[in-house]
Each structure stands twice: as C-alpha cells, then as structure tokens.
Amino acid sequence: MHAPGDVRVEDRDEPTIVEATDAVVRVTAACICGSDLWPYRGVVPLHGPTPMGHEYVGVVEQVGDAVREIRVGDHVVGSFVASDNTCEICRAGYQSRCVEHVMMTTIGTQAERTRVPLADGTLVRLPGEPDADLLPALLAASDVLGTGWFAADAAHAGPGRTVAVVGDGAVGLSAVLAARHLGAERVVVSSRHPDRQALARELGATDVLAERGDAFVARVKELTGGYGAHGVVEAVGTEESMWQAIGSARPGGHVGYVGVTHGVTLDGLRLFMSGVHLHGGPAPVRRYLPELVDLVWQRAIDPGKVFDLTLPLEKAAEGYRAMDERRATKVLLTP
C-alpha cells in the first residue's frame, strides 16, 4: 500500500531466512482483512510503501537451522502474530502477546512467499495437502475464525447462555459460528446488510437485529427478560460499538472485545457502573488453531463462508476497493 486507496502489486525481494528460527512459506491462499481498511481509508497513517497482509495458508519451502518441528514440504497455517509458544505468556494461552511476538503484518503475507518468524511456535502443520475447497476455511482460521472464537470464549459463550454480537464483518460472523459451536442457546447479532444477515443466520444466529447503539441494547434487554445478554462480542472497535457491547451485557456479564479500537476513550464512571467483565485484545489465535484446523479438516464447521469474493493476487487493488465499498465481506487472494 503506497498511500490511502493506493494498492499496487509489485515485485519485492524474495524472502529469505533471517533468523535461525524462521521459515519461508509459499503462500497458497491469503486474504484482505477488515483491519487492512484502516490504512486504506487513511484512518491509520502509512509511512511510505508498506507490505500488506497477515493471514496465510501455505507450504514450507525453507527452514532455518534452529527449526526443529516444522519441515520443508509441510502444509501449514499460522496466526497473524508469530510467537515462540514457549514463554510464560504463550503457555498461559496469550500467544498474541508473546514476549518475542512479531506481527505478520510487518512482513506481509499478501504475497507469493513470506517469511514466518519463530516457525516452530507459530506454524500449525496440516494433516496433509488440503483439498482446494478447504483452503478458505483454513485461511479463516488464521485470523477471523480464531479471533471470533477467542471473542466468543471471552464472552463465556456456553450452554443456556445468550450471546450478543456487535459487528457483522467476518470476525463478528465467525463469532456467531463460535458461540453456537460452544453451545450458546441464543445468538443475537447486529446487522443491517441483507447478505450478512442471511449468512449470520446460516452460521447460527437466532436473532438478527437492524438496531444499533441504545436501540440495540433495548432490544437485547427485551429478549432477555430485561437482564441483558450473558455475554457480548464486540467486533468493530469504535466508541459507539464498545458502549453497544457493554450496554448489552447484564451486570456480571462478559464482554469479549476484539475490534481493533480507534478513538475509543471509555468514560470511567460509566464503565465502573456497568459491572461487566471486559476481556479482549489481539486474539491469541495460536491457542485455538490446532482445534480449529481439526474441526475444519473434519468438515465439522465451514468458516470459509465469510469469503464472498476470490481474486488472483495481481487484482488485490480491486479486492481492497470491493471491501472498502462493502461489495465484499472478505476477499480471498490466490497466487
């Protein structure tokens, strides 16, 4: 990305092993993330031409001397954060905040090849070469599904519970799938977009509400005997969506927030009086990846449905335009 709205597909230097713990992966599927739209729209500043992308499925082509588990030829998926998976933070399940973490977006995976740091900790080996029709679902596991799963987990989705989801992007829709899979009885999602409303229902939403803000909060309370939801997923990242999420949760309820926040300054006293649990941040997708890969491989879940446009890598700019104009929810890029 050269500037807001200016995406170009260009030749860069071939990735190589920089650290002995690196791998070089040939990317078989990559995609555009909702968070890539922040710099595209000029909300997050760019400092010159920037490689893009942090989601990937691929095949290992090279490994550094210190890589022990991952081998050349392995089919792999990794999260959007590289992590050693051995430090205390990782072992506690918070790999996205690993003491050694590297954000994959600083390297860029919307490419034919990419360097993956901390390969043994970061990459999850697939059971074999995936069937082509499984690629979208495996790619979803790399970020949006894992993020939705963490959010649903943080919202304590489970049997007998009502979970509200604020946000109908790929993460919000993945959270719907996750909440239902985790046993939530009722999943209420906020959406005005007809295609996304239909997909939300297909993924397990029981109630789709067009209301936003306080009107949404009021409807969630109506649906829950005046109490509010047991758990809420926040998957947008604005001040309004944060309050929509916090307000929708009952006192003592759990809010899992995974929308990257922009301009959010929560009022302390209002937050204090809400009495909710808040837990979120960059999702530790690596914690969930082995289980998610397994579910996808068994075809028990199909999170690949969040991709509604597939383009060759060289048409990446068109993919950004389609997502920016909301003509596509999520765009898959093939090499």
Q: Would you count residue 333 as binding Zn ion (CB under 5 A)? A: no
Minimum distance of Zn ion from residue 101's CB (angstroms): 7
Nearest Cα neighbor of 134 from 10, 241, 292, 286 is 292
Q: Would you count residue 55 as binding Zn ion (CB under 5 A)? A: no
Q: Which two tokens stand for residue 172?
A: 């919000």
* Cβ-based nearer residue to Zn ion, 90 or 292: 90
* Cβ-based nearer residue to Zn ion, 83 or 244: 83
* Cβ-based nearer residue to Zn ion, 94 or 257: 94
The residues pairing with 184 across neighbouring beta strands, listed in sequence order, are 159
Q: Would you count residue 36 as binding Zn ion (CB under 5 A)? A: no
Q: Would you count residue 84 as binding Zn ion (CB under 5 A)? A: yes
Judged by CB under 5 A, how many residues of this single chain contact Zn ion? 5
Separation of CA 104 from chain center: 13
Q: Would you count residue 90 as binding Zn ion (CB under 5 A)? A: yes
Beta strands (DSSP E) in the chain are: 23-32, 56-63, 75-78, 81-82, 102-103, 113-116, 123-125, 162-166, 186-190, 207-209, 229-234, 249-257, 277-280, 309-312, 331-334
Minimum distance of Zn ion from residue 95's CB (angstroms): 6
- Contact with Zn ion (CB under 5 A) among 33, 52, 98, 155: 98
Q: Would you count residue 97 as binding Zn ion (CB under 5 A)? A: no
Minimum distance of Zn ion from residue 296's CB (angstroms): 25
- Among the residue ranges 41-49, 75-83, 144-152, 230-238, the one whose residues contact Zn ion (CB under 5 A): 75-83
- Contact with Zn ion (CB under 5 A) among 87, 264, 313, 317: 87
Query: Residue 325 carries which DSSP code?
Result: T
Q: Would you count residue 249 as binding Zn ion (CB under 5 A)? A: no
Report the C-alpha gap between 221 and 201 in whole angstroms: 20
Q: Which two tokens stand for residue 73?
A: 């030829």
Q: Which two tokens stand for residue 317?
A: 């700019």
Q: Would you count residue 82 as binding Zn ion (CB under 5 A)? A: no
Minimum distance of Zn ion from residue 262's CB (angstroms): 27
Minimum distance of Zn ion from residue 97's CB (angstroms): 8
Q: Which two tokens stand for residue 286?
A: 């690596």
Q: Give exposure, 50-61, as e/b (b: 16+ Cβ within 10 Å).
A: ebbbbbbbbbbe
* Cβ-based nearer residue to Zn ion, 87 or 266: 87
Please report, as ranges, the residues that interact with Zn ion according to CB under 5 A.
83-84, 87, 90, 98
